[in-house]
Chain A
Amino acid sequence: MKNDFRLNYPLWMMAFILLLGVLAFGLNSPITEFVNTETETSVTIKLEALEGFVVFCSIILYFAFLVIFMARLKKHNKENPTQKISPLAIRPPEYLEQDEGMTYITRKAVQKVYSFITLALPFLATVVIVFPLPKLAIIYGILAIAFGQYLIYYLEIRKHFKEETE
């Protein structure tokens, strides 16, 4: 159970969110040129050296993570044919609901996440309304909330598994 892919799923999502944050940094400061004339319609995005390097590295890393993630997912599905995870499922695959005990700890974790979201989203919305923030700061705010929800869920589930004894 400790090696159950669903337990580590939030960690994977946190890693993807961090990579998106790095990618957002690289993509947020390009020089964009939009040309729309009778003879030409084009959008030119110029990346500076550092931003270009950051974007390139984060995309490479993102796909590397994606390949490893899919391999782990495939391994999990092979080892747990009754509890397969679909990468396209709408229902969060990190939910542990194979029996009433697992459902109970999942519910506790989800309640904590819900409490966090109900505070964090209005807070972010208020900050964005009141302060003239750049686009990157807003993106980071959204990513921070997404990261936070996975972190809260992971820590709560891990807490229950930490002290269990045979």
Chain B
Amino acid sequence: MLRNRVKELRARYGFTQSDLGKRVDVTRQTIAFIEKGEFSPSITLALKLASTLETKVDDLFWLEGEEHNEK
């Protein structure tokens, strides 16, 4: 399962799910699905999210069970 820090970084930037969705051109629901781990985004969307949240893709997403260094 793909884990992520989207919710954490979104909160750090003060974005709502709608704000972030608009910035990466998806609906609020899709951001919610990603945050819940219900849906794994495409590489394109992962890159857009990482760019918007000013981080690297592998810092934003990682596989469950793999080591992830919190920053």
Contact = CB atoms under 8 A, between A and B. Distances in A.
A102 B32 CA distance: 11
A164 interface: yes
A1 B17 contact: no
A161 B29 contact: yes
Interface in A143-165: 160-161, 163-165
A100 B26 CA distance: 8
A101 B17 contact: no
Given A1-B29, A98-B27, A164-B33, 14 more contacts: A99-B30, A100-B41, A100-B42, A101-B26, A101-B27, A101-B30, A101-B39, A101-B41, A164-B28, A164-B32, A165-B32, A166-B16, A166-B18, A166-B32
A101 B21 CA distance: 11
Contacts of A102: 27, 29-30
A101 B29 contact: yes
Contacts of A1: 27-29
B27 to A, nearest CB: 6
Nearest to B34: A101
Interface residues of B, number: 19
A-B residue pairs, 7 tightest by C-beta? A101-B30, A164-B32, A99-B26, A101-B33, A104-B39, A99-B30, A101-B39
Nearest to A163: B36
A102 B33 CA distance: 9
Contacts of A160: 29, 33, 38
Interface of B: 16-18, 25-34, 36, 38-39, 41-42, 45
A105 interface: yes
Contact of B45 (A98, A100, A165, A166): A100
Interface in A89-108: 98-102, 104-105
A16 to B, nearest CB: 27
B33 A166 contact: no
Nearest to A1: B29
Scoring A100, A161, A165 by chain B CB atoms within 10 A of each residue's CB, the highest score goes to A100
A93 to B, nearest CB: 17
